[in-house]
Structure 1
């Protein structure tokens, strides 16, 4: 959290006075710090890409994606992990180098795969055998050879919320590691003139703080690499170990990136040496870790309701539609009263959203100064999975997104209007007046 402004005692973010941002752009308002994003990208370069040979990093764009974000990631020298036709289209429109993109997803449509091949997506992460069949058909039709990785489920569970665990055996993601299944899939690619299997991908889960699940999964994949070399003479060129590195929301103690990447690299080097394999190119895909703490959301306090001997509710002008994570995952957030950053926190208040849902609570029991109608609340660490998961529930327009950098602010995404809510609607002829 940045220091207060000495003159007016307001919360500063990215060198900007958040009270002035709210007055200028309205609320709710997403605010992203370019500097904080760049700091994380620099850490990736210094502690991973420059420290180890044959390494790559791709930003997991599902955490937060706009055309402007594509430009930032490109300027930082990272690749881009996309998971839908919409994310591919965004990258294309931003002019992102498509050879540096990786396309994920457990149920890619024919149209999405066609779009990916057409635009030269660098790696398609094949999640199942039906997808492999569709991809061969598309590559043949377009006369191209497509580089792929197989996503596999290593049977390792990350220690996190059940909804964001992905690497366990019982998962909707990935090709099971039963020999008859994985060997058959590898053989198909080895015999295909249209598909080039470069290696494998796994993802354990999100918001992880220990490295043992990464090292366990890496060891499983080395065993797979050895098995396929011995039985099929298949050489693994790339291993993508995913992302999921945890960040701070309230009182978590995040690890530095090197805690994870050093353990992964040491494990892969030692394991490969023991079985006589060359170390493949290692890829990581952080998303939340890059953008999560780089974002805040500004809200205006409306109704303040005190229930004697129970609690005090302070309602804001947003909530579930712009941040569904508390309702979806029971996610925890911290916040500050931006216009009272210097005042004593002598009140406990629950921050409620404005939707017609009892579950629309952003923060339970926040320690805060005396809150009044009109105060400005800044919820911290909202850069990941807030804008990207936002909806129009209760017909609320989605907030604007502002990029701040060294005291300057620029719009990344315009605020939706009521007109935007109706822009795709059409009245059936039978109901026209």
Structure 2
């Protein structure tokens, strides 16, 4: 009988997969021996497999290059990284190896840009697209960047007042973009995005504030919808509306030459994940070209702002199953040695699913379980993954420790969870490991942050006035691993 966990996976999915395989009966992720990682660093832990950042950037660049060639698209493609997905230096350092550009969201983002410039990681030729609602400090930081010679910094206008605020602080001419306030799907609680300016108001806004303004050049139109890039009628309809605005503007604004289609590429959240990236890119490029040809205008340079797609598939979290609680005749709770609310907040806040697989014991029989975190909050649980509203894991045995991994968790979880700060019920943040791969294929690891200690949390809470003994960086109050 096929009663082992490995049989269940083999019957349900195509396995092994490019990033997942078994070696000596334990799970490997991009050829990283996860049990060896656990033996070396313990659990819980988080890790970042840095080469996957470059892999995904290069994948996207190749899709657009092929689409441009196929449709004879006479413009350029520019890949921007959306920094709010993960601001960590090791992420930016890896991403910037791939000749990319930056999208920012707040004032402190510009400070990161200035730091990267000092290190020579970016130059004045690097595009810095500044999105978000802009007020004093953000405006000042953008102005300082442009006044310092970084003319490829393009603030994206989000509301009617921003242009005046920027003009007061920026010396000489500067380029801007305008963000379209897209209309959301009917299931949303609101009809129009709070971000940007409405479709019908963009051309009047341009005529009123930019057309006769010798100081400002309109360079870019920005388009993004919350649901991301999907092959459905809603996405194609919104894209068409955006292109109509672009062509209308282009006819009266010669300086407009770029279209930013935002981010929104999905990342793998199941072993059954199936998304045709190449088809979507080719279709987007074709739609842009066709509308521009119909309206008799030149095709725009295309910009994207991929955040989750860039960094999401580089991250993972590993936990140990501490104990099993049989709460009734049907529900078994496997308790992990950490918290979902604190370490994977999207599982709690927006019911996000990640790939979840055991690290060891694949050749044992399996059972259906629920997963519970250590906090005393009833919402600290996880009950859904690729099997849909069910979790199957090797049977709990007190004498055989079970380790489980959550994969493709690299976007947003650390910042939303408050990296380096207080966590719910004072559950300490786990160790964080960075994982890299050498040219010869060998794997190297280093500790980015140790697991939080009691004194770290007590100091934040005001119970102690002394700094932790090991105060190398604030980052070291948490634990993470980068592969």
The TM-score normalised by the length of structure 1 is 0.86
User: Are the counterparts in 2 of residues 117 and 138 from structure 1 also a CA contact under 8 Å?
Assistant: yes
Structure-1 residue corresponding to 2:30:
14
SS of 1:377's equivalent in the other structure is strand
Distance in 2 separating the partners of 1:151 and 1:61: 18
Which of 109, 116, 139 is matched with 2:135 structurally? 109
Distance 1:277 1:118, change over 3 A: same
Listed one character per residue, the Cα deviations across residues 155-211 of structure 1 (whole Å, up to 9, x for unaligned) are 3539xx858xxxx852211111224x6422454133334432212101112455425
Counterparts of 1:334-353 in structure 2 under 5 Å? 334-340=355-361, 342-353=362-373
Structure-2 residue corresponding to 1:72:
94
Distance 1:35 1:50, change over 3 A: same
Which of 84, 89, 92 is matched with 2:111 structurally? 89
Structure-2 residue corresponding to 1:135:
166
User: Are the counterparts in 2 of residues 28 and 318 from structure 1 also a CA contact under 8 Å?
Assistant: no
Structure-1 residue corresponding to 2:194:
172
What's the offset of the Cα at 1:325? 1.1
Listed one character per residue, the Cα deviations across residues 377-397 of structure 1 (whole Å, up to 9, x for unaligned) are 111221222223213222233
User: Are the counterparts in 1 of residues 67 and 282 from structure 2 also a CA contact under 8 Å?
Assistant: no
SS of 1:350's equivalent in the other structure is strand
SS of 2:78's equivalent in the other structure is strand
Q: After alignment, is 17-26 or 34-43 more displaced?
A: 17-26
Which of 309, 314, 318 is matched with 2:329 structurally? 309
User: Are the counterparts in 2 of residues 209 and 254 from structure 1 also a CA contact under 8 Å?
Assistant: no
SS of 1:117's equivalent in the other structure is helix
Aligned length: 414
Counterparts of 1:318-337 in structure 2 under 5 Å? 318-337=339-358
User: Are the counterparts in 1 of residues 181 and 198 from structure 2 also a CA contact under 8 Å?
Assistant: yes
- Is 1:386 matched up with 2:413? yes
Distance 1:46 1:208, change over 3 A: closer
- Is 1:195 matched up with 2:216? yes
Which of 314, 338, 357 is matched with 2:377 structurally? 357
Distance in 2 separating the partners of 1:357 and 1:269: 52
Distance in 2 separating the partners of 1:197 and 1:72: 32
Distance in 2 separating the partners of 1:302 and 1:186: 64
Unaligned runs of 5+ in 2: 1-18, 69-74, 385-389, 438-442, 466-483
Which of 402, 411, 415 is matched with 1:375 structurally? 402
Listed one character per residue, the Cα deviations across residues 264-288 of structure 1 (whole Å, up to 9, x for unaligned) are 1100111100110101111112222
Distance in 1 separating the partners of 2:221 and 2:195: 13
Structure-1 residue corresponding to 2:22:
4
Which of 195, 201, 218 is matched with 2:239 structurally? 218
Distance in 1 separating the partners of 2:65 and 2:172: 30
User: Are the counterparts in 1 of residues 431 and 450 from structure 2 also a CA contact under 8 Å?
Assistant: yes
Distance in 2 separating the partners of 1:150 and 1:178: 13
Structure-1 residue corresponding to 2:430:
399
User: Are the counterparts in 2 of residues 247 and 254 from structure 1 also a CA contact under 8 Å?
Assistant: no
Structure-1 residue corresponding to 2:47:
31
Distance 1:70 1:309, change over 3 A: same
Distance in 2 separating the partners of 1:186 and 1:422: 57
SS of 2:446's equivalent in the other structure is strand
Distance 1:148 1:25, change over 3 A: farther
Distance in 1 separating the partners of 2:244 and 2:122: 34
Listed one character per residue, the Cα deviations across residues 227-260 of structure 1 (whole Å, up to 9, x for unaligned) are 3345x44552111001111222136533232222
Listed one character per residue, the Cα deviations across residues 203-230 of structure 1 (whole Å, up to 9, x for unaligned) are 1124554254443333212211333345
Which of 145, 150, 154 is matched with 2:178 structurally? 150
Counterparts of 1:209-358 in structure 2 under 5 Å? 209-210=230-231, 212-230=233-251, 232-250=252-270, 253-316=273-336, 317-340=338-361, 342-358=362-378
User: Are the counterparts in 2 of residues 59 and 79 from structure 1 also a CA contact under 8 Å?
Assistant: yes
SS of 1:3's equivalent in the other structure is strand
What's the offset of the Cα at 1:13? 2.2
Listed one character per residue, the Cα deviations across residues 16-35 of structure 1 (whole Å, up to 9, x for unaligned) are 22223234334332222223
Distance 1:300 1:90, change over 3 A: farther
Aligned-residue CA RMSD in angstroms? 2.8
What's the offset of the Cα at 1:414? 4.6
Distance in 1 separating the partners of 2:38 and 2:215: 53
The TM-score normalised by the length of structure 2 is 0.78
Distance in 2 separating the partners of 1:91 and 1:10: 41
SS of 2:166's equivalent in the other structure is helix
Unaligned runs of 5+ in 1: none
Distance in 2 separating the partners of 1:381 and 1:162: 26
Distance in 1 separating the partners of 2:168 and 2:35: 55
